[in-house]
């Protein structure tokens, strides 16, 4: 059977515009398993390449498949549904399956657009799903043994030569319980790691195949030091090094394990993305982050001493944030010598405790999922008004990165060329306090013109293929 997987991108893919092309590894695992079972699989991941032509219609080569899998996150769900409708129209009898984190949280919603919805992990059942072994519309996936999965086959990704960061997975899940994150609900706070032997063998194979730039897509890289340290030491002993490795992790893993960071650096780790979230201890406590501002300062010292750069990931709009938050946060970033920082506006991901809480407090202003991407205000913040929070987000980026720096120029270009032009309707609705009327976009499901790539976006996509060294 010819199977096409589509991973729709969010409307505005900041990562891709910045040259970060990381394909979704979950779908590659599924495709690899289906290929081993004898199917002809191709993945069209919009984190890497476009699935649509300039009119917003799925490419003809995709529509040649007999069956389709669509993977959705919340901000890309609407686009995923539009693609499903296009497939239905072009091929009324073809099987359409939808999965991914948004489908896991909202299976009934996704079920309106396909034959089957698969929730949670799908490696164990994917062949049966496509070969017609299930009658039910909503199929619940099972926890898989991550040591027994085949190595992901990147050759099935369309335009795989465009990948700038190769994702690799050493663990799944997280034992923490941040209410804004979907991981604890989906993985029930269970944390699984792969064995050092399996990791060593996969990474040697990857290095041999020419992969030099890796991104560990674990929710929490390095939590299990007993498993992480040996595979890195094995690789170093075998003379394996990578040009650029990065991962997402937590402050307390850095604090407790300076020796882990030293080994990571030897392997080629250059940057760690750390969920700092807030420099307000009350926020850190109220949002169960299990870390303090002092812990964050301590982690910065450890990372700076070892020489691994930190990208601090911050959230704006928590209940204790006010008009002074941006200035204090930017000062903190500079004082602690963080290399870079990213700012996201707090938003309630469906299926999380935060979503349920804000919904019960009637603070959610819109259910237009395409706005649930961390660049839009979708709920009523406590101490500032929504417009204020939107401005705080823009001003955080602008005050941290001065206009004459590399990141400053890139950010100003992003706002001017992409974010503002694409968000005129949203901003008008925000100013007029009528955000809920934007929900019609989800209900009507017509292809809005702003799904079309702008000429300038295509230009930037073709220009930026460089990986930061
Ligand atoms: C690594 C990662 C990233 C990386 C790489 C993303 C990429 N290209 O894959 C980067 C840093 C770029 C990133 C960016 C973002 N991320 Co992110 N990310 C993750 C993380 C930590 C791991 C993703 C992963 O590889 N999981 C492992 C694989 C195996 O799982 P999976 O992808 O879910 O796939 C499995 C199942 O879902 C299912 N499945 C998936 N698709 C399909 C399709 C079909 C047909 C079927 C049958 C089954 C199926 O089977 C797969 C195998 O078991 C997750 C947390 C998590 N555990 O999911 C957050 C997560 C996915 N990210 C999240 C968010 C919010 C974002 C951003 C919006 C952040 C932002 N504000 O910019 C962006 C969006 C990027 C985009 N282009 O869409 C949220 C999404 C929540 C939601 N419901 O939307 C998550 C869940 C974290 C959280 N806070 O809860 N992210
Ligand atoms: S935000 Fe990070 S630490 Fe918190 S629950 Fe999610 S993955 Fe775990």
pLDDT of residue 205: 97
pLDDT at 11 over 90: no
Q: How far is the CA of 451 from the centre of ligand 2 (A)?
A: 31
Residue 98 covered by a domain? yes
Whether residues 134 and 174 fall in one domain: no
Q: Measured in angstroms, how far is the CA atom of residue 406 from the centroid of ligand 2?
A: 30
Compute how many other C-beta atoms are within 10 angstroms of the C-beta atom of residue 142.
11
Average pLDDT over the chain, rounded to an integer = 92
Asked if residue 325 is part of any domain, the answer here is: yes
* Paired tokens of 360: 């019960």
Check whether residue 311 and residue 369 sit in a common domain: yes
Instruction: Tell me if 448 is assigned to some domain.
Output: no
Nearest atom (ligand 2) to Cα of 289: 4
Provide the pLDDT for residue 258: 96
Kindly state whether residues 238 and 293 are assigned to the same domain: yes
In a domain, 414, yes or no: yes
pLDDT tens track for 190-222: 999 999 999 999 999 999 999 999 999 999 999
**Domain total for the chain?**
2
pLDDT at 450: 41
How does pLDDT run across 454-467, given as a tens digit for each residue?
444 455 444 444 43
Identify the pLDDT of residue 466: 41
Q: Tell me: do 135 and 170 sit in the same domain.
A: no
Q: Is any atom of ligand 2 closer than 6 Å to the C-beta of 220? A: yes
127 and 6 share one domain: yes
The whole-number average pLDDT for the span 435-457 is 53
Atom of ligand 1 nearest to the CA of 47: 77
- Residue 95 sits in the same domain as residue 175: no
- Any idea which ligand is nearest the CA of 376? 1
The answer on pLDDT for 439 being more than 60 is no
pLDDT in tens, 221-271: 999 999 999 999 999 999 999 999 999 999 999 999 999 999 999 999 999
Measured from the CA of 248, which atom of ligand 2 is nearest? Answer: 2
- The per-residue pLDDT for range 316-368, each reduced to its tens digit, is 999 999 999 999 999 999 999 999 999 999 999 999 999 999 999 999 999 99
Please say whether the beta carbons of 180 and 346 come within 8 A.
Answer: yes
445: confidence class by pLDDT, cuts 50, 70, 90 = low
In a domain, 341, yes or no: yes
Q: What percent of the chain has pLDDT over 70?
A: 93
Of 99, 136, 378, best ligand 1 pocket probe by most atoms within 8 Å of the beta carbon: 99
Residues 6+ apart with CB under 8 A from 149: 29, 33, 123
Chain length of the chain: 469
Please indicate, yes or no, whether residues 239 and 122 belong to a single structural domain of this protein.
no
Q: Does residue 83 carry a pLDDT above 60?
A: yes
Q: What value does the mean pLDDT take over residues 43-57?
A: 92
Q: Are residues 187 and 134 in the same domain?
A: no
Query: Are 322 and 209 in the same domain?
Result: yes
- Alpha-carbon distance of 358 to 79, in angstroms, equals 25
Q: Which of 375, 370, 313 is nearest to 345 (CA)?
A: 375
pLDDT: is 29 or 445 the higher one? Answer: 29
pLDDT score for 253: 97
Q: Decide if 146 is inside a domain.
A: no
Q: Whose CA is closest to 25, among 202, 184, 233, 196? A: 202
Mutate to test the pocket of ligand 2, among 180, 181, 250 (most ligand atoms within 8 A of CB): 181
Is any atom of ligand 2 closer than 6 Å to the C-beta of 250? yes
Residue 444 scores a pLDDT above 80 = no
The two structure tokens encoding residue 200? 């060593």
- Identify whether 153 is part of a domain: no
Residue 207 has which token pair? 């290095």
Least confident segment among 18-22, 274-278, 393-397: 18-22
The CATH number for 60's domain is 3.40.50.280
pLDDT at position 446 over 80: no
Q: What is the pLDDT of residues 291-320, one digit of tens each?
A: 999 999 999 999 999 999 999 999 999 999
Contact 139, 129 (CB under 8 A): yes
Residue 154 lies in a domain: no
Q: What is the pLDDT of residues 138-182, one digit of tens each?
A: 999 988 999 999 999 999 999 999 999 999 999 999 999 999 999
Q: Is the CB of 176 inside a 6 Å radius of any atom of ligand 2?
A: yes
Do 188 and 274 fall into the same domain?
Answer: yes
In this prediction, residue 179 carries a pLDDT of 98
Residue 192, CA distances (Å) to 29, 159, 201, 219, 320 in order: 17, 31, 18, 11, 34
Cα of 134 vs centre of ligand 1, distance in Å, is 25
CA 209 to ligand 2 centroid distance, Å: 32
pLDDT of residue 441: 52
CB atoms within 10 A of CB 304: 15
- CATH number of the domain where residue 398 is located: 3.80.30.20
Q: Confirm or reject: Cβ of 219 under 6 Å from ligand 2.
A: yes
If one counts every other C-beta atom within 10 angstroms of the C-beta of residue 466, the result is 8
The boundaries of the domain holding residue 382 are 165-438
Task: Kindly list the distances between the CA atom of residue 379 and the CA atoms of 149, 157, 265, 361, 372, in Å, as whole numbers in the listed order.
Answer: 40, 37, 40, 10, 10
pLDDT attached to residue 454: 47
Ligand 2 midpoint to CA 174 (Å): 6
105 lines ligand 2 (CB under 6 A): no
Which ligand is located closest to the Cα atom of residue 189?
2
28-37, 50-59, 129-138, 230-239 — which is least confidently predicted? 50-59
C-alpha of residue 309 to centroid of ligand 1, in Å:
23
The verdict on 96 and 177 lying in the same domain is no
72 and 215 co-located in one domain = no
């Amino acid at each position: 059977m010819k199977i096409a997987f589509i991973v729709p991108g969010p409307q505005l893919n900041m990562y891709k515009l910045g040259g970060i092309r990381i394909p979704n590894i979950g779908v590659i695992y599924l495709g690899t398993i289906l290929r081993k079972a004898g199917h002809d699989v191709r993945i069209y991941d919009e984190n890497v390449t476009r699935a649509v032509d300039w009119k917003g219609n799925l490419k003809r080569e995709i529509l040649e498949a007999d069956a389709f899998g669509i993977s959705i996150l919340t901000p890309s769900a609407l686009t995923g549904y539009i693609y499903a409708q296009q497939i239905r129209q072009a091929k009324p009898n073809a099987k359409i399956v939808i999965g991914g984190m948004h489908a896991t949280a909202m299976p009934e919603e996704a079920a309106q657009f396909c034959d089957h919805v698969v929730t949670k992990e799908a490696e164990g059942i994917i062949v049966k799903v496509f070969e017609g072994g299930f009658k039910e519309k909503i199929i619940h996936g099972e926890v898989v043994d991550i040591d027994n999965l085949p190595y992901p086959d990147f050759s099935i990704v369309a335009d795989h030569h465009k990948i700038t960061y190769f994702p690799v997975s050493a663990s799944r899940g997280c034992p923490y319980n941040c209410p804004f994150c979907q991981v604890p609900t989906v993985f029930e706070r269970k944390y699984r790691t792969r064995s050092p032997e399996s990791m060593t063998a996969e990474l040697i194979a990857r290095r041999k195949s020419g992969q030099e730039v890796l991104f560990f897509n674990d929710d929490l890289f390095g939590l299990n030091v007993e498993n992480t340290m040996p595979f890195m030491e094995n690789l170093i002993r075998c003379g394996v090094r990578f040009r650029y490795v990065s991962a997402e992790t937590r402050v307390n893993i850095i604090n407790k394990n300076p020796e882990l960071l030293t080994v990571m650096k030897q392997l080629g780790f250059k940057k760690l993305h750390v969920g700092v979230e807030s420099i307000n201890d009350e926020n850190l406590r109220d949002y169960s982050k299990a870390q303090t501002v002092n812990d964050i300062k301590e982690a910065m010292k450890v990372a700076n001493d070892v020489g691994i750069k930190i990208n601090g990931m911050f959230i704006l709009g928590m209940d204790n944030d006010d008009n002074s938050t941006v200035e204090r946060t930017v000062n903190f970033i500079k004082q602690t010598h963080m290399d870079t920082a990213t700012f996201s506006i707090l938003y309630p991901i469906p299926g999380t405790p935060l979503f349920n809480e804000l919904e019960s407090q009637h603070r959610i202003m819109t259910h237009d999922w395409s706005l649930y991407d961390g660049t839009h205000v979708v709920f009523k913040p406590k101490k500032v008004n929504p417009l204020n929070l939107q401005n705080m987000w823009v001003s955080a980026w602008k005050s941290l990165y001065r206009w004459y720096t590399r990141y400053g120029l890139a950010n100003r270009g992003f706002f001017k060329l992409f974010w503002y032009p694409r968000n005129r309707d949203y901003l008008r609705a925000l100013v007029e306090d009528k955000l809920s009327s934007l929900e019609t976009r989800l209900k009507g499901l017509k292809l809005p013109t702003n799904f079309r790539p702008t000429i300038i976006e295509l230009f930037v996509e073709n220009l930026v293929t460089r990986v930061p060294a």
